[in-house]
Structure 1
Amino acid sequence: MGVDEFDAETCSNLSYFKDLMKEYRKIDDNIMLRMNTTDTHSEASCKEFFKHLSDAYTRREKAVESCLKILDARLEKQQKIIDDDPYNSDIKNQIFVDETKRRMIANEYVVEDIVRERSLTVFKNKCRKFTIPEEFQRWLLLRR
């Protein structure tokens, strides 16, 4: 499933969402193996691997952003219902559930910081000839 395919159903099913994120993190989980099979003395090989790594970062970031937007829109609609009917317990319960899902999905940003830091440390140690592009470093700083 591509990031563009994230919908309300995907974002509402936390175990499915987490499974997708796990799938998207395979490159990071296997970084040592991948780096051991990459010619780390070749700047071109390191550049190609870095492209895959940064694409994975972007894909995961977009997935989290997409789900947060979907949940925010849903919570906004629910809040309007509560504003009109403050005693609607079904909607109050659903708001609680959706707020919990939103927090758990937003927590993926913390996980991302840890995963990126670990992967980039390995990458930098192995691909010493490759310089991480300035725009990517700025992008990372904006994420913190």
Structure 2
Amino acid sequence: MNREVLNELAEQAHEGPAQMSERVCLNMSQFKAVLRQQRKIDDNIILRMNTTDTAKMSECKALFAVLQAAYQRRDRDIEFCLNVLDQKIKQKQEAGTPSFSLQTQYEWVDGERKVESIVKQRSLDVFKARCPFFEIP
């Protein structure tokens, strides 16, 4: 994999085009779209591994760093949205208004943590198969 592609992937993993915000957290279709955009790195892992010289430990290390950055970003964004929703639910409860839809959204976003663990495991399985000598920290 050439360095330019790797740098582009690293930039997407850290900051990418889709940014999480309170507005996005409160709109489930936007939230799904942002996560879908952020998971493109994982969706294309097989293609990326086919263009990576897995005989070079440095290539495996660099790609692993990109994956880790993407995982951390998604975890951070999911937690951010859970906090936003939790605050909105508390505000509604304090005001004495129903918060059923917000609670449903909260449960759905919380469920994304399980999806995230599946996505991570699938990507790591591919990574381990293609970079068998790289020890994952």
Q: TM-score range by the shorter chain?
A: 0.7 to 0.9
Deviation at 1:37, TM superposition (A): 0.2
Identity of aligned residues (%): 42
Structure 2 counterpart of 1:97, one-letter code: S
User: CA deviation digits over 1:57-115, x for unaligned, max 9?
Assistant: 00100010000001101111111111xxxxxxxx21xx011001111111110101110
State the Cα distance separating 1:121 from its structure 2 match.
Answer: 0.5
2:114 corresponding residue in structure 1: 110
CA RMSD of aligned residues (A): 1.5
2:132 corresponding residue in structure 1 = 128
8 A contact 1:7–1:70 mirrored in 2: no
Q: How many residues align?
A: 122
Larger radius of gyration: 1
Q: Is the counterpart of residue 41 in structure 1 residue 60 in structure 2?
A: no
Structure 1: runs of 5+ lacking an equivalent: 83-90, 134-144
TM-score, length-normalised on structure 1? Answer: 0.81
Deviating runs (4+, > 4 A) in structure 1? none
Shift of residue 30 of structure 1? 0.6
Listed as ranges, the gaps of 5+ residues in structure 2 are 1-11
Distance 2:80 2:63 in 1: 26
Please name the residue that 1:137 is paired with: none
